[in-house]
Amino acid sequence: MSAGRRAIPALLLLLGLIAIWELYVEVKGSSFSTAILPAPHQVASALYDDRALLWSNFLVTAKEVLLGILLAAVLGAILSVAIHFSPTLRRAVYPLTVASQAVPVPILAPVLAFWLGFGLLPKLMVVALVSFFSVVVTTTAGLAAVDPDLVKLMRTFDASRLRTFRHIELPSALPGVFAGAKIAVAVSVIGAVLAEYMGSNSGLGYVILVSEPQLLVARAVAAVVILSLFAIALFALLGLIERLALPWVYRSPAEQAT
């Protein structure tokens, strides 16, 4: 089945949901659609009319999310390796890592803005912080799942701890880094938007923040549509990079049949 045909069920479902949404707003009347929830056709025209504004602010948010996830993947992978080698470090750091996930971004963002200003850096920190945990969990699981018999085998080959890590554990951990980054896509977009809410003058989060009080709800929803599409694209992009970088993780159906 081609990729196009596989997309048909998702597109049909989406069209159905949009139709229901359109009808619902129609029934509720015009005061509802200007103040609470705009109809899809209003969102579509906002997407078109405000395309320059939305695009330039999208680039700001996309940069925050991409760099934030990258930062989370690198730091998360490094911490996972450190935790893998030191049970003491695991006991010390793991509870704090979990706790960091429970800190609401609206509380954290102003503090970061106070320290780091209103530019890219505080948003990057928020995105990295909310993405970090899933990377650490999946990478640590990947490292822990290395077959102990394989480690024994390397010992009979006189491999040092470092070479065993390089040849066995590190490649085993890489799929976990990607899995964690993919899980983090949605939360990282939310994180970037909330960080923009808390202190910024650009980005789609900022667009949403200033559009709502001006009763430009359609524009705010248009920004949300772009964010959703971005999350899907980012998820697909990570999958593509993983496929290219770690081809052994995926096997075509033809190979699996043999």
Partner 1 sequence: MIEAPPEEPRELNAALDFVRVELVSRGFETRHGRVQALAGMSLHAAPREVVAVVGPSGCGKSTLLELICKLQKPDAGTIEAGPAALMPQRDLLLPWLSAIDNAALALRARGISRVQARSIAAPWLERFGLARFEHTRPAELSGGMRQRVSFLRTLLAGKPVLALDEPFAALDAITRQEMQGWLGHVLESEPRTVILVTHDVEEAVMLGDRVVVMSPRPGHTVSEIEVPLTRPRKRTDPAVVDLRERALTALGVQA
Q: Which stretch binds partner 1 (CB under 8 A): 188-196, 210-218, 228-236, 246-254?
A: 246-254
Q: Residue 258 and residue 255: Cα distance in Å, rounded? A: 6
Between 145 and 232, name the residue whose CB sits nearer to partner 1.
145
CB of 151 to partner 1, least distance (A): 10
Is the CB of residue 176 less than 8 Å from the CB of residue 139? yes
Q: Residue 148 and residue 155: Cα distance in Å, rounded? A: 11
Instruction: Say how many C-beta atoms besides its own lie within 10 A of residue 234's C-beta.
Output: 21
Q: Is 91 in the site for partner 1 (CB under 8 A)?
A: no
Annotate each residue in 162-181 with x if it binds partner 1 (CB under 8 A) or - if it does not, as one string: -xx--xx--x----------
Q: What b/e sequence results for 176-203 when a residue is b if at least 16 CB atoms lie within 10 Å of its CB, and e otherwise?
A: bbbbbbbbbbbbbbbbbbbbbbbbbebb
Between 71 and 159, name the residue whose CB sits nearer to partner 1.
159
Q: Residue 115 and residue 110: Cα distance in Å, rounded? A: 9
**H or E stretch at 125:** helix 120-144
CB of 47 to partner 1, least distance (A): 43
Q: Is 251 in the site for partner 1 (CB under 8 A)?
A: yes
Annotate each residue in 142-161 with x if it binds partner 1 (CB under 8 A) or - if it does not, as one string: -----x-xx-xxxxxxxx--
List contacts with partner 1 (CB under 8 A).
147, 149-150, 152-159, 163-164, 167-168, 171, 246, 248, 251, 255, 258
